[in-house]
Amino acid sequence: MTATFLKIPIIFLLYLLGAHGQEVKDRYYPRYHLAPPIGWMNDPNGFCVYNNEYHLFYQHNPNSSLTSTLVHWGHAKSPDLVSWEHLPIAMYPDQSYDAGGVFSGSALVENDTMHIYYTGNVILEGQTPDHTNRQAYAISTDGVTFTKYAGNPIIPGDDRQPNFRDPKVWKHEDTYYMVLGNSYNNDSLGRILLYSSTDKVNWIEVSILDQSNGSLGYMWECPDFFELDGKYVLLFSPQGVAAQGDKYKNLYQTGYILGDFDYSTLKFTPTSEFKELDHGHDVYATQTLLDNRGRRIVIAWFDMWDQNYPERYDGFTGIMTLPRELKLSSDGTIIQKPVEEMSRAEGRNLIPGRGRRGSSRTYTLRNKAGEIKVRADASNNLKLYIESGSVRVTLSYDATNGQVTLDRGGTDGVRRTEWKPSGQLKWRIFVDASSIELFCGEGEVTFSSRFFPDGPITVRLGQLSRAEHVSVHEIVRTVPHGGQDHERWHVCVGG
Ligand code: FRU
């Protein structure tokens, strides 16, 4: 076993001494979505409940907000999925099998121990392929310090199939299962492998859950597999899916296939096509958790590879989406709702909902954060503008064609999908400094997109739009801003 514990104070000290030479600016930094205290964030990892608190790890480069190179596991915890506290970095790329990055993975909690499964990235300089992936294991008995297993890697992998990663582990009856994302056939087709173990350390491949027939990409990342309201859900992030009209317009996708699964044969039988989970620009690399209340909760990286958003010059890159509870509707659509605890972050009701008919009134969000609720007659078109200086995001509903559009302007600003509300048009919109999440109806359609305001953020209905209800709630800060957090860490390291 290798103790990573001793390294923590030294590296923290470097942090505190400003090794990055950069302050995290507040203008784009989220007030209530988790973001790294400094540096880079990508995928959510190790989402679990430990000692009645939610823990979330994430792909993190503490040394730069410009690149994910040599990712670590950043770490935060929350009593309620709303207020987050940053914890010391959980794992460093300090072993031969993970020196090229402590890549994504998951956590399984058993008998007060956190069992962590992750991918070690190995860079093979000057060789073809130039990297390979191994699966590794670590444990924590205090939820703060992590010990990598001496027998790592637990699954060595095949150097001819270098892309083999992102273990998601769960237990069913007396057996442990792991799904892994993989690219095979000379890196041309994506698939998901199922492994099993009886002791958490020795694993064997037991089946291929599903694979690309060519139309679903060359690599499937970040797989997750779980039962939801009587169906099995294979949730993953395929790379290399071609755009088709309004579908698959992002660089990479995240979506799901529903099906049936039998633990005796370990066969997954798909009963649906691949469907995108979200229709905005920025949802990737999801991870779910089954919490103590039996809720299936998903969280995603609220960003996308190669976006190069301007926050990268503000000392941080990447945020998480709101945690969302998942349900399955009778027509086989996954419904996503912000966890109900979100109401704890609601501050004052700035604009109480009441009938508004073509009002030209503009509402200014406090501290660039808030929740907007709209209810309207679904037989009319509707437009809502979220604006800041020269920046505008338009949300529109087209009653004739049954479509919703988010347009953030600029190149490739439009995202659109079908939505035919049953009954009234209902929207919940969460705005947070540099992000917008739109939940349509009961959450059957969502859009999550980043945008970068030019000052205060205002909201108004389109001139011709009529709504029966528009309300704006303030949302208070529940995530410490990077700068403030340095203070907290100082206390934590010094103490
Ligand atoms: C997804 C991903 C994972 C990998 C991680 C590396 O965004 O590419 O497949 O483990 O990011 O940071």
Both 275 and 400 in a single domain? no
pLDDT band with cut points at 50, 70 and 90 for residue 483: low
| Ligand 1 atom at minimum distance from 252 CA | 7
Q: Above 70 in pLDDT, residue 1?
A: no
- The residue type of 43 is D
Tell me which of 40, 41, 42 to substitute to probe ligand 1's pocket, judged by most ligand atoms within 8 Å of the beta carbon: 42
Which of 311, 338, 365 lies at the terminal end of a domain, its last residue? 338
Tell me how far the alpha carbon of residue 295 lies from the centroid of ligand 1, in angstroms.
Answer: 25
Tell me which of 134, 187, 219, 222 to substitute to probe ligand 1's pocket, judged by most ligand atoms within 8 Å of the beta carbon: 222
> Which is nearest to 255 in space by CA: 185, 163, 190?
190
Q: What is the pLDDT of residues 165-188, one digit of tens each?
A: 999 999 999 999 999 999 999 999
* pLDDT for the residue numbered 485: 46
pLDDT band with cut points at 50, 70 and 90 for residue 158: confident
In a domain, 193, yes or no: yes
**Which residue, judged by its Cα, is nearest atom 1 of ligand 1?**
285
* Dihedral angle of Cα 34, 38, 44, 46, to the nearest 10 degrees: -100
C-alpha dist (Å) from residue 244 to 213, 217, 301, 351: 16, 13, 23, 40
* pLDDT for the residue numbered 159: 82
Q: What is the pLDDT of residues 47-78, one digit of tens each?
A: 999 999 999 999 999 999 999 999 999 999 99
Both 372 and 311 in a single domain? no
* pLDDT for the residue numbered 415: 98
Which of 338, 362, 392 lies at the terminal end of a domain, its last residue? 338
Q: What is the pLDDT of residues 345-364, one digit of tens each?
A: 888 887 767 655 556 689 99
Both 307 and 354 in a single domain? no
State the catalytic residue, choosing from 26, 43, 130, 432. Answer: 43
Across 251-260, 343-352, 418-427, least confident range: 343-352
Task: Evaluate the CA torsion angle 452, 453, 458, 462 in order and state its sign.
Answer: negative
- 68: three-class secondary structure by DSSP: coil
Q: What is the pLDDT of residues 68-125, one digit of tens each?
A: 999 999 999 999 999 999 999 999 999 999 999 999 999 999 999 999 999 999 999 9
Both 228 and 369 in a single domain? no
Both 297 and 168 in a single domain? yes
In a domain, 55, yes or no: yes
In a domain, 480, yes or no: no
In a domain, 492, yes or no: no
pLDDT band with cut points at 50, 70 and 90 for residue 220: very high
Across 189-198, 269-278, 478-487, least confident range: 478-487
* pLDDT for the residue numbered 144: 98
As a whole-number percent, the residues of the chain with pLDDT over 70 amount to 91
In a domain, 489, yes or no: no
> How far apart are alpha carbons 77 and 50 in whole angstroms?
9
Output the average pLDDT for the chain. Answer: 92
To the query of whether residue 314 is one of the catalytic residues in this protein, the response is no
Domain containing 412: what range?
A: 349-475
- 313: three-class secondary structure by DSSP: helix
In a domain, 294, yes or no: yes
Both 29 and 137 in a single domain? yes
Tell me how far the alpha carbon of residue 310 lies from the centroid of ligand 1, in angstroms.
Answer: 21
Both 295 and 356 in a single domain? no
**Which residue, judged by its Cα, is nearest atom 12 of ligand 1?**
103
Q: What is the pLDDT of residues 29-52, one digit of tens each?
A: 999 999 999 999 999 999 999 999
| Residue 360, domain CATH | 2.60.120.560
Both 387 and 326 in a single domain? no
Which of 276, 303, 338 lies at the terminal end of a domain, its last residue? 338
pTM of the model: 0.93
Both 82 and 159 in a single domain? yes
In a domain, 485, yes or no: no
Q: In what order do the strands lie in the sheet with 346-351?
A: 346-351, 469-475, 369-376, 425-432, 435-440, 445-450
In a domain, 344, yes or no: no
Tell me how far the alpha carbon of residue 221 lies from the centroid of ligand 1, in angstroms.
Answer: 7
How many domains are there within the chain? 2
Both 188 and 328 in a single domain? yes
Peptide bond into 167 cis (omega under 30): no
Q: What is the pLDDT of residues 286-326, one digit of tens each?
A: 999 999 999 999 999 999 999 999 999 999 999 999 999 99
pLDDT band with cut points at 50, 70 and 90 for residue 22: low
Provide the token pair at 47: 């989402």
* pLDDT for the residue numbered 302: 98
Tell me how far the alpha carbon of residue 43 lies from the centroid of ligand 1, in angstroms.
Answer: 6
Both 393 and 323 in a single domain? no
Q: What is the β-pairing status of strands 324-328 and 296-301?
A: antiparallel
| β-sheet bridge partners, residue 272 | none
| Residue 70, domain CATH | 2.115.10.20
Q: Above 80 in pLDDT, residue 494?
A: no
Both 293 and 181 in a single domain? yes
